[in-house]
Amino acid sequence: MLPELEAIQDNTQLGLLFASMMVLGILITLISTHTSVLKYLKKS
């Protein structure tokens, strides 16, 4: 097996990676929505 895949077998690291990806996705969504709403409100 590849050494890179063996490093990910640890459940703690995998959970931390999953949680950080979820938080990052939510953050990007919130920032994008916030800027879009501000841009829309400035137009009207």
DSSP 8-state assignment for residue 3: H
The C-alpha torsion from 20 through 21 and 26 to 31, rounded to 10°, is: 90
Give the pLDDT score at 2.
67
Q: How far is CA 16 from the centre of its chain?
A: 12
CA distance 10 to 38: 42
Global pTM exceeds 0.75 = no
Question: Tens of pLDDT along the chain (44 residues)?
Answer: 667 666 666 788 889 999 999 999 999 999 999 999 999 999 86
